[in-house]
Every structure is written in structure tokens, then in C-alpha cells.
């Protein structure tokens, strides 16, 4: 009855996150725990060599996720959602969505997954003295300029996926600083785009004669906790075509999945970090000091508060693993065996624990797409073994899970080894850690860092953006985000910590020697197939 009263009196908050394969909507109550959720599955498509989603994909996915949330609320509590305290929108970071002055999309949405901006990323990194990865929005813009694309002179605004959805709901062209830091470098001390780099970019394109200025077409940055607009009448109808949801709801600054992952794991203070593992995998480490030099394998972004964060981002994580699980499910059905998907995942993950720590000589690559850290613009999923390799379900599953972490390990070796960044622990969340123990244990041993998983690990970024929405709607305006998370949210949630296991660490190190050495085989496969 208490939850029903919270829903009816608009004391709840909603977070919606657009992941690569799933859009998830989460409602949280006054104690910040999830009380209902809804999802919509979707997939990017490769069209004309570009990984993309259409505007219709985005709209229909948003509406379906919200509808399923509303259905879940009705089924569990017998009430309709008509009003909430606040809403937040989050999405996969980076990418490219350019619009003209009338709000028309000028080019297909180019997601973070594309690796076609190599020339632009290299030129900008050199000009800025700051690493600009291929997936960053400014790299996509500059590559389109280098390519001479016809839409460039007509740009009035460009943004990320979260910024686009927020704009449709509120009419505001804004971003949270964490998502903005994946569009263009940030001056963390001032909480704004870096003015010197803005000037350098303007110099690079001065001879083009464009009527727009880079500072004018970037979204405005809104600090965490501030109102970033309110749900308009058209926005309410877009989100809830049934017409039940009221306009006027406060909407927090839209954030990227990296920022919501930090919030969902309470990893926004120095010496803390988190790993998010789903379709992609990335590790975030909040820095105590600047890195000694520029590393192409490491991005510098920010927390939702604007503090600098070192980020190792890998395009590929669980897609290949999921494909194998789907194949095993299909095999079981061929023999008339029907099992819940969660049970299949749990049993297969558990089997990996019985395998030799080095995977018995198996090595796999989960490269469905290119991988910047290792220098690939395309990928070919592969499983490699020698005639004497131990080939079993146990070794196969361990190899597949290791491959989800292999490329991340290469980047983290630079951060933890060469740069001597110290972390007290990493907090892990996302699909890879839903099954208990396995992913957590292997990651701790792979990185030689204690890894914690919270009770809320499966909720991930949708819960994180719901918390940011609740922070915006809070009554006590004196609390910092860190204080809000420490004192009001995470004091209520338990976590389990796993220390690195020596035998697993030695086995993973042996696996990685083969993984690194056989990258030439992956290269040959890309060239041949």
C-alpha cells in the first residue's frame, strides 16, 4: 500500500536508458529501490557500412519500454502512472546525430560502434594534444567534413542519442557533463567544453567557410542535480501515446551510459572505478591526478559531476557469448528440451568454473565489430584451438567469458601498470555479472583488483539515471551528488567483494599471451573473409 501511495502521489522517479540491445525503463520509490520496470529489445543494423538505428526505431522503442513499465506497475500495484516526481533519459554515449535549423535529421544516426573516423580521430588527437577516439561525436563531425559530405553546411545542432530523446521530450538541447565529455573535451575545472580546443577546431575548419561555429552547435551543458527542462505536452504524448501521463514533469540532464554506470555503482570519487559489461565493455577509473601522457587506448571523460575519469572502452563484449548460448538453446530444443534462458546462462557460466585456468589451450575473439584498442576497423568472431587443446563445454565457456575481458585487459594494463593508477576496488554491473560469482571472479583475477557486485548489478544504467532524476527532484539542495549517493542510496544496499585468485590470475595471463600473439590471425581473417 505504501508503494501505491508513492505512485499515486507522484513520489516516484523514472529512468530510461537506451542500451545497444535493450531499452530499459525503471521506476524507483522513495527509498530509491526499483519498484517496477519495462524493457524493449532492439538491435542496431548495418546499412551502407554504417551501424545505425532509425528515428522510428528510437521512438517506437521508447514508447514500448515505457508502456511495458506502465503495464508492470498496473499488474503489480493496480494503479496507472499519471505523474512522477522526475524523469531521466540515458543512452549509449558518443555517436553522431546532426540536425538542421528546422529539426530535420541530416544524416543517419552513426553509433559509437562505427570505426570509420580514423583519419579525423588521428588529426584531432594531434591538434588537441588530447586523445579523441573514433566513436566521439567530434570525430564523426570532422570525418564528415574531411569526406566533404553535403549536409555539413546545413548543421544547426548535433547531439548524442540521450540528448536527442531529451530534446524530443522537453524541447531543450542540453546534455549532462558526462555525456557531453564524449562529444568534445571538457575543462573539468570550469565544467564546460574546453575553450582552447574549441578554438583549435575552429582553426582547422576555418577555410571551409561554414556559417556555424562549433561552440554554437554543441548541446548546452547542465550540471547534475539541476532541472534540464520539463516534459512538454508533445513530449508526454510521445512517451505515453495513451495520454495518461501528465506534462510538466521535471527532467534531469540527459546522461551517457558511462555516467549512469558510475552512479549505479557509486563510483564517482577518486580511487573508485567501475566496469560495465554488456554489448560493449568499459572500465572507468576516477583520477586523482592527470595521466603522464596521451594514450590512444584510454579516453578522458568525466563523472556526472565533471571530475576527470580514465576510460578504457571496448566495442565488443557479450555479443559472441550470447550467440553461442543461443546456439546451445537451439540444440536443446532440437532434442525436445525447453529451459528458461536464465537457467541456460547460469548452467553454462557455472561450467566455466571447472575448466583449467588457462582455458586448456582455447582462445576466442569476440570481435563482431572493429576494436580501437587493438587497431581493428572490422572484426571476425573466432575460436582457435590446437589439436591437443582440451575442447569441452567447460573450456569453451571459460574462453568465451575470458574473451569478453581480453581487450579490456590490454587497456587496463596501461592504466594500472604504466600509469600506476591505484584503485581500492572496482564495482561491476551489467549483463555479464547477472550470473553469480563467475564474471566477478574472472574479472578480479584478470585485472588483479578486488571486484564488488551490488544487489542492483542487473539494473545497471536505467537505475543510475533514475537516481540522477531523483537527485534533481530532491528537497535538500545542499547535498552533493556524492553525499546523496553515500548517505541516502547506497547505505541501504549490500555488495559482495571478490579478491583476485592467484591461480586464475596466472591462467588468465597465459591465456592473454596467446590472445595477443594470435591477433595476427584475427587480422588475416578480416582480410580474407
Per-residue confidence (pLDDT) for residue 495, from 0 to 100: 80
For the domain made up of 94-159+184-217, give the CATH fold. Answer: Nucleotidyltransferase; domain 5 (3.30.420)
Mean pLDDT computed over 93-111 = 97
Cα 470 from Cα 479, distance rounded (Å): 13
Among 50-59, 82-91, 200-209, 471-480, name the one with the lowest average pLDDT. Answer: 471-480
pLDDT digits (tens, 9 = 90+) for 220-237: 999 999 999 999 999 999
Query: What element of type H or E holds 34?
Result: strand 34-41
Per-residue confidence (pLDDT) for residue 459, from 0 to 100: 60
CA distances 150 to 101, 120, 147, 335, 382, Å, are: 15, 17, 9, 55, 39
Answer whether residue 458 shows pLDDT above 60.
no
Which grid cell is 516? 595477443
Q: In the chain, pLDDT over 90 holds for what percent of residues?
A: 84
**477 vs 207, more confident:** 207
**Can 1-91+231-253 and 94-159+184-217 be said to share one CATH topology?**
yes
Residues sharing a CB contact under 8 Å with residue 283, sequence separation 6 or more, in sequence order: 273, 274, 275, 311, 312, 408, 411, 412, 415, 426, 447
Q: Work out the mean pLDDT of the chain and round it to a whole number.
A: 94
With CA atoms as reference, report the closest residue to 384 among 515, 282, 492, 274: 515
With CA atoms as reference, report the closest residue to 136 among 110, 162, 154, 98: 110
For the domain made up of 1-91+231-253, give the CATH fold. Answer: Nucleotidyltransferase; domain 5 (3.30.420)
Answer whether residue 426 shows pLDDT above 70.
yes
Per-residue confidence (pLDDT) for residue 303, from 0 to 100: 94
With CA atoms as reference, report the closest residue to 492 among 133, 28, 53, 171: 28
Task: Tell me the pLDDT band of 473, cut-offs 50, 70 and 90.
Answer: very high
Per-residue confidence (pLDDT) for residue 44, from 0 to 100: 93
Per-residue confidence (pLDDT) for residue 244, from 0 to 100: 98
Beta strands at 97-99 and 50-52: parallel, antiparallel or unpaired: unpaired
Mean pLDDT computed over 266-279 = 88
Answer whether residue 279 shows pLDDT above 90.
no
Task: Tell me the pLDDT band of 271, cut-offs 50, 70 and 90.
Answer: confident
Answer whether residue 456 shows pLDDT above 70.
no
Mean pLDDT computed over 480-506 = 90
pLDDT digits (tens, 9 = 90+) for 498-514: 999 999 999 999 999 99
pLDDT digits (tens, 9 = 90+) for 280-295: 898 999 998 889 999 9
Residue 85 φ/ψ, nearest 5 degrees: -70, -35
With CA atoms as reference, report the closest residue to 296 among 371, 381, 187: 371
Domain residue ranges in the chain: 1-91+231-253, 94-159+184-217, 258-314+411-462+472-497, 319-410+502-528
Query: What element of type H or E holds 505?
Result: helix 502-517
Residues sharing a CB contact under 8 Å with residue 330, sequence separation 6 or more, in sequence order: none
Q: What is the 3-state secondary structure (H, E, C) of 368-393?
A: CCCEHHHCECCCCCEEECCCCCCCCH
Cα 412 from Cα 207, distance rounded (Å): 40
Mean pLDDT computed over 385-398 = 96
Answer whether residue 276 shows pLDDT above 90.
no
Mean pLDDT computed over 135-146 = 97
Per-residue confidence (pLDDT) for residue 453, from 0 to 100: 87
Q: Helices 502-517 and 438-447 sit at what angle, rounded to 10 degrees?
A: 70
Answer whether residue 457 shows pLDDT above 60.
no
Mean pLDDT computed over 314-337 = 96
Q: What is the DSSP letter of 20?
A: S
DSSP secondary structure string for all residues of 421-437:
---SEEEEESGGGSSSS
Residue 413 φ/ψ, nearest 5 degrees: -60, -35
Beta strands at 97-99 and 272-277: parallel, antiparallel or unpaired: unpaired
Please give the model's pTM, rounded to 2 decimal places. 0.83
Amino acid at each position: 500500500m505504501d508503494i501505491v501511495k508513492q505512485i499515486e502521489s507522484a513520489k516516484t522517479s523514472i529512468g530510461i536508458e537506451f542500451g545497444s540491445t535493450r531499452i530499459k525503463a525503471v521506476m524507483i520509490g522513495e527509498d530509491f529501490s526499483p519498484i517496477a520496470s519495462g524493457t524493449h529489445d532492439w538491435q542496431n543494423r548495418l546499412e551502407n557500412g554504417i551501424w545505425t538505428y532509425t528515428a522510428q526505431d528510437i521512438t517506437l522503442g521508447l514508447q514500448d519500454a515505457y508502456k511495458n513499465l506502465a503495464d508492470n506497475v498496473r499488474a503489480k500495484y493496480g494503479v496507472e502512472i499519471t505523474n512522477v516526481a522526475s524523469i531521466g533519459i540515458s543512452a549509449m554515449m558518443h555517436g553522431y546525430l546532426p540536425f538542421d535549423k528546422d529539426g530535420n535529421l541530416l544524416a543517419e544516426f552513426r553509433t559509437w560502434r562505427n570505426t570509420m573516423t580514423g583519419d579525423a580521430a588521428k588529426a584531432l588527437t594531434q591538434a588537441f594534444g588530447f586523445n579523441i577516439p573514433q566513436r566521439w561525436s567530434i570525430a564523426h563531425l570532422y570525418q564528415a567534413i574531411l569526406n566533404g559530405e553535403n549536409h555539413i553546411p546545413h548543421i544547426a545542432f548535433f547531439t548524442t542519442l540521450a540528448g536527442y530523446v531529451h530534446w524530443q521530450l522537453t524541447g531543450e538541447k542540453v546534455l549532462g557533463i558526462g555525456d557531453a565529455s564524449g562529444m568534445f573535451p571538457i575543462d573539468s575545472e570550469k565544467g564546460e567544453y574546453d575553450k582552447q580546443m574549441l578554438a583549435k577546431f575552429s582553426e582547422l575548419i576555418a577555410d571551409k567557410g561554414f556559417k556555424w561555429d562549433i561552440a554554437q552547435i554543441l548541446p548546452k551543458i547542465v550540471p547534475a542535480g539541476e532541472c534540464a527542462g520539463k516534459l512538454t505536452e508533445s513530449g508526454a504524448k510521445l512517451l505515453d501515446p495513451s495520454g495518461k501521463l501528465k506534462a510538466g514533469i521535471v527532467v534531469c540532464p540527459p546522461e551517457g551510459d558511462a555516467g549512469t554506470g558510475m552512479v549505479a555503482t557509486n563510483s564517482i570519487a577518486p580511487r573508485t572505478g567501475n566496469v560495465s559489461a554488456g554489448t560493449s565493455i568499459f572500465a572507468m577509473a576516477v583520477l586523482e591526478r592527470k595521466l603522464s601522457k596521451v594514450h590512444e587506448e584510454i579516453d578522458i571523460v568525466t563523472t556526472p559531476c565533471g571530475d576527470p575519469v580514465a576510460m578504457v572502452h571496448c566495442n565488443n563484449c557479450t555479443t559472441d557469448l550470447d550467440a553461442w548460448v543461443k546456439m546451445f538453446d537451439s540444440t536443446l530444443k532440437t532434442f525436445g528440451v525447453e529451459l528458461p534462458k536464465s537457467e541456460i546462462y547460469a548452467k553454462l557460466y557455472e561450467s566455466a568454473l571447472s575448466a583449467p585456468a588457462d582455458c586448456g589451450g582455447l582462445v576466442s575473439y569476440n570481435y563482431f565489430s572493429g576494436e580501437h584498442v587493438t587497431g581493428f576497423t572490422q572484426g571476425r568472431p573466432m575460436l582457435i584451438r590446437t589439436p591437443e587443446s582440451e575442447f569441452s563445454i567447460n573450456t569453451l565457456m571459460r574462453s568465451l567469458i575470458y574473451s569478453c575481458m581480453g581487450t579490456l585487459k590490454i587497456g587496463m594494463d596501461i592504466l594500472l601498470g604504466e600509469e600506476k593508477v591505484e584503485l581500492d576496488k572496482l564495482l561491476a554491473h551489467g549483463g555479464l555479472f547477472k550470473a553469480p560469482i563467475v564474471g566477478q571472479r574472472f574479472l578480479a583475477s584478470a585485472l588483479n583488483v578486488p571486484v564488488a557486485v551490488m544487489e542492483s548489478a542487473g539494473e545497471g544504467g536505467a537505475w543510475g539515471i533514475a537516481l540522477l532524476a531523483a537527485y534533481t527532484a530532491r528537497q535538500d539542495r545542499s547535498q552533493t551528488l556524492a553525499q546523496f549517493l553515500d548517505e541516502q542510496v547506497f547505505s541501504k544496499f549490500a555488495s559482495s567483494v571478490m579478491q583476485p585468485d592467484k591461480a586464475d590470475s596466472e591462467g588468465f595471463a597465459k591465456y592473454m599471451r596467446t590472445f595477443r600473439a594470435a591477433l595476427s590471425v584475427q587480422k588475416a581473417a578480416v582480410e580474407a573473409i
